[in-house]
Amino acid sequence: MKSNTDVIVVGAGPVGLLLACELRLAGLDVVLLERRSEPVRDSRALGMHARTIETLGLRGLAPHFLERGRPFGVGHYGALETMLNFSALDSGYPFQLVIPQSLTEQLLEERARELGVRVQRDATVDETWQDDAGVHASGTVGGQRFTFSGAYLAGCDGARSAVRRQAGIAFDGVEAGTTTMLGDVQLRAPLPAPALMKVNQEGVLMIVPLGDGVHHRLIVLDARRRDVPVAEPVTLEELADGARRIAGCDYLPSQARWLSRFSDETRHAAQYRQGRIFLAGDAAHIHMPAGGQGMNVGMQDAFNLGWKMAAVVRGQAPQGLLDSYHNERHPLGAQLFRNTMAQTALLTSFDQRGLALRAEISGLLTQPEVNLKLALQISGLGIGYGAALSEPPAPVLPEWSGRRIPEMTLADGGSLHGLLHQGEWLYLRLREDAPHAVACPGRLRTVSAALAPSPDLGASQAELMAAGPRALLIRPDGYADYALA
Ligand SMILES: Cc1cc2nc3c(=O)[nH]c(=O)nc-3n(C[C@H](O)[C@H](O)[C@H](O)COP(=O)(O)OP(=O)(O)OC[C@H]3O[C@@H](n4cnc5c(N)ncnc54)[C@H](O)[C@@H]3O)c2cc1C
């Protein structure tokens, strides 16, 4: 079987699904190849952070997720006693949303199918190559060989990415040093609080409700069993024993729905692009799931790449635009590498010195500005992209180039983010004296409107009002390319 398409996406995890949606929204033909015959049922990622919710909101999808998840106003950094205060975040979503990854994937797959993505399950890619004509992926579906050819291919095929391996992209980092157990279980003894976190010389215990009113996620880093290989199955007894020793009491876990073990192996792809091949999500970066970031950062990768790839395939942007994907996202992968390694160091030192270090840093986190700095990092709200990708026609307000544009109400009562639902660039003329037209690499929508003053503006909204730009050119992923002075 031979077939052609615009873009081949390998892997229908949250990252591949979101990327496929973005490409299809822009009108491209997209084939999404997934080795599993059925969607994943295990909960995996539970925390969806503020910037990811905003991202979904930029396409009008946030309500579907909000109505199925549960907001949680705090987060953790290395399981330190002082929690990250997400309620201080300057966003319409000042929390993390507890929603199982299985549900996130279900909602994204529904959207992908509605948009017309060609989702092919039971399709394992084992070979990818590129030439002057395009990029190609071969594999098997239902015992039959297939080959798809396209202009570009995205490897969203997870930690053991075949696409990355085939492309020969280095994936250097740090070997696994510690393994941690987890179980989605029912507790027969009541918890003293809705969630629980405990760290002592016996290890680390975290218990959070899964949100279905029945199950809890137990995470147990047992100091006596940290060397158990990641592939060794977890038993309920092993999980319960570790939890009991760390907690000093027994919450009687039972009826395990999912038991697993994960490691702190940390790696980062040397390049996110090789010619026509791109990496996103776990295919590009793996780490200890500390702070709940892997899926979130991966979905931001997809959101950065999708509109760029679409603009180039449609002939609206030069190929060079695609280099900005690596340039913008690779430094954030490097930061993810550092912050998860730092958290791992905090999470795996159980002697008196390690516990003293934890207490000191936990003390620092009681300072609101320190707490906010880490909350911005973990929530994804703190990122910006610096330089403009297009040429401004007039002087700009430099501090706004590459900066996240907050949701704003327009003078007619409409929503600014609502103008980005179709994934186009937005040229927002805010004053009469703004140029009537600008150039940008992609589909452009031009709207003349004013921002509505309101007494309860957040800090970034108030800052934008005070800056008073004549016009804003906003990228499809919700960052300002520039603001005209
Ligand atoms: C216990 C745990 C808790 C976590 N908690 C959080 C959290 O709270 N927040 C957070 O942001 N992250 C969290 N993570 C991380 C998160 O689960 C991952 O970062 C996320 O799954 C990455 O998504 P992805 O789409 O890149 O890869 P994956 O989800 O791994 O999807 C890759 C897909 O590609 C398919 N595939 C692989 N090879 C091929 C092939 N050759 N051909 C075709 N298809 C292929 C796979 O079947 C899979 O469906 C957690 C992880 C763990 C283990």
Closest by CA to 29, choosing from 202, 207, 151, 125, is: 151
CATH of 179-263, one of 3.40.50.300, 1.10.3720.10, 3.30.70.2450, 3.40.50.2300: 3.30.70.2450
- How does pLDDT run across 403-432, given as a tens digit for each residue? 999 999 999 999 999 999 999 999 999 999
Q: b/e map of 234-263 (b: 16 or more CB within 10 Å)?
A: beeebbbbbbbbbbeeebebeebbbbebbb
The one-character DSSP state at 197 is E
How many alpha carbons lie under 13 Å from residue 396 in its C-beta half-sphere? Answer: 19
The whole-chain average pLDDT of the chain stands at: 96
Q: b/e map of 405-428 (b: 16 or more CB within 10 Å)?
A: bbbbebeeeeebbebbeebbbbbb
Mutate which of 33, 295, 296, 304 for ligand 1? The one with the most ligand atoms within 8 Å of its CB, which is: 295
| Contact (CB, 8 A) for 239 and 221 | no
Sorting pLDDT into bands at 50, 70 and 90, what band is 2?
A: low
Q: Which two tokens stand for residue 321?
A: 């635009």
The one-character DSSP state at 357 is H
> Residue 383 burial (CB < 10 Å; 0-12/13-18/19+)?
buried
Among 38-42, 45-49, 73-77, 215-219, the range scoring the smallest mean pLDDT is 38-42
Whether ligand 1 lies within 6 angstroms of the CB of 158 is answered as yes
| Contact (CB, 8 A) for 135 and 151 | yes
Whether ligand 1 lies within 6 angstroms of the CB of 69 is answered as no
**47 CA: nearest ligand 1 atom:** 8
Domain ranges of the chain: 2-46+100-174+267-348, 179-263, 398-484
Q: b/e map of 184-210 (b: 16 or more CB within 10 Å)?
A: bbebeeeeeeebbbbbeebbbbbbbbb
Please give the CATH topology (third level) of the domain spanning 398-484.
Glutaredoxin (3.40.30)
CA distance 406 to 427: 15
What is the per-residue pLDDT for 161?
Answer: 98
Mutate which of 157, 262, 332 for ligand 1? The one with the most ligand atoms within 8 Å of its CB, which is: 157
CA distance 120 to 15: 16
For the domain spanning 2-46+100-174+267-348, the CATH number is: 3.50.50.60
- How does pLDDT run across 121-167, given as a tens digit for each residue? 999 999 999 999 999 999 999 889 999 999 999 999 999 999 999 99
The one-character DSSP state at 463 is H
Strand locations in 280-377 (E): 285-286
